[in-house]
Amino acid sequence: MARTATSFEELGNRVAEELGALVPLDGMNIGLIELEDYIFIDAYVRGRNVPGRAIGHRRTLADTVVEAGMKAGGGIVIGEASPKRLLERFPRLQSTLDTGSRSMLTVTLESGGKTVAALVPASTRFSGYNHEDLEMVRSQVRPPSSDRAS
């Protein structure tokens, strides 16, 4: 998927186009993860973004869907619960819900044995994704095991 991009924006656009053919995609965020500082840095956004979150915006991973995806071993499905229940689990999610997003997949990406980025497709539909979608997206964005760095 998107192997010959010349910029991060081009890479993000290609990934979004390819994933949009597979799953509902009203928006998508790709962020870089700095585990040392425990932060997520917005590197690509497609669709409606949270106001004040420009490319390069840095925020904590604590209590986020990305952190939950990391703890789950590489990804989670969000959106089967009501917005109120989502906020109970993810207190920092309100600004994302305000954009109209109701379902998300979080897929973390690893290099050299550590999490370095996350891909977060989003849909305005409740229950817009399921675990089969998560596994399909994971299989599309992760290199074959022979290509992975150790």
Q: Give the pLDDT score at 44.
A: 94
Q: Give the pLDDT score at 80.
A: 87
Query: Can you list the residues of the chain whose pLDDT is less than 50?
Result: 146-150
Residues 68 and 120: their CA atoms lie apart, in Å, by: 12
Q: Give the pLDDT score at 102.
A: 92
- The dihedral sign for the CA sequence 35, 41, 44, 50: positive
- For residue 149, is it within any domain? no
Q: Give the pLDDT score at 150.
A: 43
Question: Residue 122 in 3-state DSSP?
Answer: strand
Name residue 133's amino acid: D
Residues 150 and 144: their CA atoms lie apart, in Å, by: 13
Residues 150 and 148: their CA atoms lie apart, in Å, by: 6
- For residue 128, is it within any domain? yes
- Chain segment 111-124, per-residue pLDDT in tens: 998 999 999 999 99
- For residue 148, is it within any domain? no
- For residue 136, is it within any domain? yes
- Chain segment 5-19, per-residue pLDDT in tens: 678 788 889 889 999
Q: Give the pLDDT score at 142.
A: 72
Containing structural domain, residue 51: 8-143
Question: Residue 117 in 3-state DSSP?
Answer: strand
Q: Give the pLDDT score at 53.
A: 85
Q: Give the pLDDT score at 145.
A: 55
Distances (CA, A) of 13 to 9, 87, 115, 144, 147: 6, 29, 22, 22, 23
Residues 76 and 106: their CA atoms lie apart, in Å, by: 5
- For residue 23, is it within any domain? yes
Question: Residue 43 in 3-state DSSP?
Answer: strand
Q: Give the pLDDT score at 5.
A: 64
Q: Give the pLDDT score at 148.
A: 46
Count of structural domains, the chain:
1
pTM above 0.85, yes or no: yes
- For residue 1, is it within any domain? no
